[in-house]
Amino acid sequence: MHQLTIAEIVRGLRDRQFSSVEITSHLLERIQQLDGQYNSFITVTGDQALKEAAAADARLAEGNAHALCGVPIAHKDIFCTNGVRTSCGSKMLDNFVPPYDATVVDNFQQAGAVSLGKTNMDEFAMGSSNESSFYGPVKNPWDVQRVPGGSSGGSAAAVAARLVPGTTASDTGGSIRQPAALTGTTGLKPTYGRVSRWGMIAFASSLDQGGPITRTAEDAALMLSVMASSDKKDSTCLDRPAQDYTANLNDSIQGLKIGVPKEYFGEGLDSEIGARVQEALKEYEKLGAELVEISLPHTHLAVPAYYVIAPAEASANLSRFDGVRYGYRCENPADLRDLYMRSRGEGFGEEVKRRILVGSYALSAGYYDAYYNKAQQVRRLIKQDFVDAFSKVDVIMGPTAPNPAFKLGEKNADPVAMYLEDIYTIATNLAGLPGMSLPCGFAHNLPVGLQITGNYLDEARMLNVAHQFQQASDWHQKSAPTAE
């Protein structure tokens, strides 16, 4: 039962092959037995999940339930959940129990989905390996000595381990697509503003975007159809009605123009990963698509620009966690200054402190123009690169990550090497474009991800392109050896 995709669960529930209580119980038992080796969950809400499943079964019996009614999912611990701890992977919020639901969570509740709990993540979504969580690192189900990628590594590992068929996640610089690539799952980062950020704890507000991690593009379309809605509580959320992203999955891609950036296949890319991506591109040619070499000339500036803009926004967003207004408070402070300094010093981990310091420096008097303002100018150039490219092609493809999953602790002493793991994903966030990663083979016996970047609000075409590849290949059906 745990090998079923979301689409298969939907059909099974409608055909009365099993009930929501039965599949929810099966997955909860599996989490209890197996998650000790992955650490993919921070909080499991078993009793609440069974109540939601029983309610879903009642709605299904009435015959007019939503498509996702009764389907078990899990939420990244960055989304606020009413009455359930929302830690954001940090000691700072270890005891935070929100009195409200994020809009994304509320959308899934309205659809009748069943939440199994909250998945592990890098602290405040800062990291490319899922090793910075206060609750310990997440392990990759393909090799538990290796990282699953970050910051949505808990969500990706839970799907790869077949503990849950789909999860919510968030992507600031590649945090949905990179862990999806490293765990052999399918992850989708929508256009900025397509999914409400209300109730999603902010890291870098102009870059953060929620999205799903699933096993297939069809499942991602099912989840995005629930997640994507207009929201008056989020002024950055686009005023677009909900859309059925499954409607065009079976459209032909004959004549599709695929842009292949020459900058994505140079120095730094693992040769086996490059070979698997090229093989996937050839498969698209067999399906009738045309490959067009393009150039994104400012690609090399994406990582430096990102690591000025994102920490600058993080330093502002995280200023509220001071032991007075929000978050952890130190014990027995000597005075107000001691309260502020020790609360933040004890509550935040090393990676969060590093980014707050970088961001504060970039925004400080005398350095704003030299760093932050310059980074925003570079961001505009990167965005223009994509505008020019999409005047010639329909989608852009390349590798999601330059390397396969690396070993736990391997890059902890070198933050720059860690940051470069997002080198192919960051530009998409700076431009606000949608992107996704899907399995396209193996390198060094570990999963490889193919990245698809779409034009603004073109998620339907992107999902159609991914679904057609998955109809012609079986990489997305491969199961991690520890997850059988």
- Active-site amino acid positions: 76, 151, 175
Which residue from 460, 473, 483 is spatially nearest to 222, judged by alpha carbons?
Answer: 460
Instruction: Report the C-alpha gap between 420 and 418 in whole angstroms.
Output: 5
Query: Do 190 and 224 meet the contact criterion of CB atoms below 8 Å apart?
Result: yes
Which residue from 393, 388, 385, 380 is spatially nearest to 260, judged by alpha carbons?
Answer: 393
Give residues with Cβ within 8 angstroms of 251, minimum separation 6: 464
Instruction: Report the C-alpha gap between 198 and 453 in whole angstroms.
Output: 25
Query: Do 175 and 152 meet the contact criterion of CB atoms below 8 Å apart?
Result: yes
Residue count of the chain? 484
Here the tokens at position 479 are 């199961």
Give residues with Cβ within 8 angstroms of 246, minimum separation 6: 218, 221, 222, 225
CA 163 to chain centre: 17
Query: Do 130 and 153 meet the contact criterion of CB atoms below 8 Å apart?
Result: yes
Instruction: Report the C-alpha gap between 145 and 130 in whole angstroms.
Output: 13
Which phi and psi angles does 50 have, rounded to 5°?
-65, -35
Instruction: Report the C-alpha gap between 30 and 32 in whole angstroms.
Output: 5
Here the tokens at position 211 are 């999205």
For tokens 């090799």, what's the residue? Answer: 143
Which residue from 430, 436, 440 is spatially nearest to 459, judged by alpha carbons?
Answer: 436
Give residues with Cβ within 8 angstroms of 426, minimum separation 6: 173, 174, 302, 303, 306
Cβ-count burial of 413 within 10 angstroms (0-12 exposed, 13-18 middle, 19+ buried)?
A: exposed
Here the tokens at position 136 are 């310990």
Query: Do 421 and 402 meet the contact criterion of CB atoms below 8 Å apart?
Result: yes
Here the tokens at position 106 are 């509320």
